[in-house]
Amino acid sequence: MLKILNLEAGYGQLRVLKGISLHVLPGEAVAIIGANGAGKTTLLKTIAGVLRPRSGKIMFNKQDISNEPLEKIVEAGCCLAPEGRHVFSTMTVKENLLLGAYHRQRNGASADIASSLKQVYKLFGILEERANQLAGTLSGGQQQMLAIGRALMSGPKLLMMDEPSLGVAPLLVKSIYQTIANLKREGLTILLVEQNARAALALADRGYVFETGQIVLEGTSRELGDNPEVQRAYLGKEYRRIDE
Ligand SMILES: Nc1ncnc2c1ncn2[C@@H]1O[C@H](COP(=O)(O)OP(=O)(O)OP(=O)(O)O)[C@@H](O)[C@H]1O
Ligand SMILES: [Mg+2]
């Protein structure tokens, strides 16, 4: 579904991604783990069309999206749920959600929008309860749900998520990850970036480990979870897969 070849990107003089190659197959959940500043967000922003690649190629469903504008990439079915604190805080929850369906509104797909909204409210009941509340007044965890919900409103085939556990209480992390697991079960393909390697590897089929803009390790989640280096650097104590 997604294939990235030798991707380089950065900001001004700063070279962040140094030749990234990775892929995501249809129906897979793939995790990218790595420390602060490793370039995880930069990678997602580059795939989503927020940031232009300097070189390399991004193929999405056999279409070269490396230089497509953001709206085209969303329309193709590749959508980024940013970190929760990047919701539009002065707009209501519902306005934020509808914004995620912007291109469908333009194409007159109002029935699809209504059904996506229903789906999002079913996944995250709190968003329906708070539909008319300003997004900025939501808790950190609720804002994460809103960011994911907004991305789902675009009707994605590939959902990319940037740190859905950031700033979220442990119990809610569990619930958000259960929801992501359900979306995966329903067939959604997922690319997930996390500092919380424990949560990410418990959900994902495969993963890549990022260090200073490069992939230093890749494998199935089980392989990565069993790897002593990964355990020491990212997992700490023993962890268990979500489906066990
Ligand atoms: N808009 C920007 N302008 C300039 N430099 C930036 C910008 N955004 C990120 N950087 C730099 O790029 C590097 C990679 O940042 P990035 O946000 O991709 O890391 P990350 O892996 O997502 O980290 P974190 O886990 O803290 O979210 C860092 O050195 C960061 O300072
Ligand atoms: Mg980041």
pLDDT tens per residue across span 7-22: 999 999 999 999 999 9
Domain extent, residue 22, equals: 2-235
For residue 239, the model assigns a pLDDT of: 55
Residue bearing the bigger pLDDT, 228 or 208: 208
Question: Ligand 1, atom 7: nearest CA belongs to which residue?
Answer: 11
Q: Residue 151 domain-assigned?
A: yes
pLDDT digits (tens, 9 = 90+) for 191-215: 999 988 888 999 999 999 999 999 9
Locate the ligand 1 atom nearest the alpha carbon of residue 210 and give its number. Answer: 21
| Rounded Cα gap, residues 14 and 204, in angstroms | 31
Per-residue pLDDT band for 114 (boundaries 50, 70, 90) equals: very high
Question: Ligand 1, atom 3: nearest CA belongs to which residue?
Answer: 11
Question: Ligand 1, atom 31: nearest CA belongs to which residue?
Answer: 37
For residue 124, the model assigns a pLDDT of: 94
For residue 91, the model assigns a pLDDT of: 96
For residue 24, the model assigns a pLDDT of: 98
On the question of pLDDT at 142 being above 60, the answer is yes
On the question of pLDDT at 132 being above 70, the answer is yes
On the question of pLDDT at 116 being above 60, the answer is yes
On the question of pLDDT at 229 being above 70, the answer is yes
For residue 85, the model assigns a pLDDT of: 80
140: domain CATH number? 3.40.50.300
Number of domain units in the chain: 1
Q: In this structure, which ligand is nearest to the CA of 196?
A: 1
Centroid of ligand 2 to alpha carbon of 110 (angstroms) = 33
On the question of pLDDT at 223 being above 80, the answer is yes
CA distances from 221 to 75, 186, 209, 232 (A): 30, 20, 11, 15
Centroid of ligand 1 to alpha carbon of 39 (angstroms) = 6
Q: Residue 240 domain-assigned?
A: no
Structure-derived torsion over alpha carbons of residues 158, 14, 20, 31, reported in degrees to the nearest 10:
-50
Q: Residue 23 domain-assigned?
A: yes
Q: Residue 41 domain-assigned?
A: yes
| Rounded Cα gap, residues 41 and 64, in angstroms | 21
Other CB atoms within a 10 A radius of the CB of residue 175 amount to 15
Residues having CB within 6 Å of any atom of ligand 1: 11, 14, 16, 34, 36-42, 195
Residues with CB under 5 A from ligand 2 (ion): 40-41
Centroid of ligand 2 to alpha carbon of 163 (angstroms) = 7
Write the secondary structure of 195-229 as one string of H (helix), E (strand) and C (coil).
CCHHHHHHHCCEEEEEECCEEEEEEEHHHHHHCHH
pLDDT digits (tens, 9 = 90+) for 144-186: 999 999 999 999 999 999 999 988 888 888 889 999 999 999 9
